[in-house]
Amino acid sequence: MPELPEIETLRRALEPLLVGRRFETVEIFDRRLSAPAEPRTLAGELSGGRVQRVGRRGKYLLVEFDDERTLLVHLRMSGSLRHWARAALPEDPYRRALISLDDGGMVGYRDVRRFGTWRLLGPDELDGYLDARLGPEPLEASYGAAELGVALSRRRTPLKAAILDQRTVAGVGNIYADEALWRARLHPRREAAGLDADELRALWRGIRAALRRGIACQGSTLRDYAQPDGQEGRMQREFKVYGRGGEPCERCGTLIERSVVAGRGTWTCPACQQLTPTRAPVVAGRSRS
């Protein structure tokens, strides 16, 4: 469940701990984590690597080595990374991998549900791998409402489903999609291709504002996510709608409702986010006026 703000928080915390460090030994205890590579093979390939940069693309954490290979870490549902500086390691039955650094520090990867993945790619594979799976980075300065509009214009799906598709915009998941839609006053069941210019701009602004707020709060901790020092994020205290069914909307006081959109639990304000109240119905792809 970690999304862009959680991974970006992780990246910022790990960067000073990992850059310049060498992976002395790597142990991988779970076949699912390294698949399709064998755990022992991947661990062997990672051992000895020196970290040059810690990056992020969408929900992927990118550990770049000085030989231009990159370890892609995806936490999926319940993964987390923890760093210890020369401390005795606590027992953890859910630890799936352990990295020993050349300064005596350790990085443990924990994953209760085991959907997380580690994959090592060479410089000629990386861009193709990421570009096939991810759309633009929403917090880049060059990302504009027009780019979001192009991605949505091809979609006949509900707006929320389109936003959750990582090829529309990278890094937005269930939490920040709901938060962005509330900020933009848009109903998640609106047709993705049906937004006008003002609505597109509101959504673009809403996505960026929700993600920035998440980063400023060091992400949200609902169950498994934590920062590398074990601290929880604080964004869960600031959700506008996510998980707040039955509580008043801070804008209008109407009680927030839970529904299911695109197969996901979805929270909205029924007053602020109406399903095309002033629009003519669209029939057979043509607008009746």
Closer to Zn ion at the Cβ: 153 or 276?
A: 276
Q: Which is nearer to Zn ion, 150 or 252 (CB)?
A: 252
Q: Quick one: CA dihedral 94, 97, 98, 101, positive or negative?
A: negative
What is the maximal distance between C-alpha atoms in the chain?
A: 71
Cβ burial 238-254 (10 Å sphere, 16+ → b, else e): ebbbbebeeeebeeeee
Q: What's the min distance (Å) between Cβ of 127 and Zn ion? A: 42
Q: Cα–Cα distances in Å, from 16 out to 49, 54, 207, 218?
A: 16, 9, 28, 16
Of 14-22, 141-149, 212-220, 268-276: span binding Zn ion (CB under 5 A): 268-276
| Binding status of residue 252 toward Zn ion by CB under 5 A | yes
Judged by CB under 5 A, does residue 269 bind Zn ion? yes
Based on the residue annotation, tell me whether 3 is a catalytic residue of this protein: yes
**Segment near Zn ion (CB under 5 A); pick from 12-20, 90-98, 127-135, 251-259:** 251-259
Told to judge if 5 belongs to the known catalytic residues of this protein, a careful annotator would answer no
Judged by CB under 5 A, the residue of 161, 249, 261, 262 near Zn ion is 249
Cβ atoms of 75 and 2 closer than 8 Å: yes
Q: What span, in angstroms and rounded, lies between the C-alpha atoms of 57 and 142?
A: 15
User: Phi and psi at residue 81, in whole multiples of 5°?
Assistant: -115, 140
272 binds Zn ion (CB under 5 A): yes
* 251: contact with Zn ion by CB under 5 A: yes
Side chain identity, residue 53:
R
| Residue 90: active-site member | no
Using CB under 5 A as the binding rule, the residues of this chain from 217 to 236 that contact Zn ion are none
Residues at the interface with Zn ion (CB under 5 A): 249, 251-252, 254, 269, 271-272
Tell me which residues are annotated as active site. 2-3, 59, 264
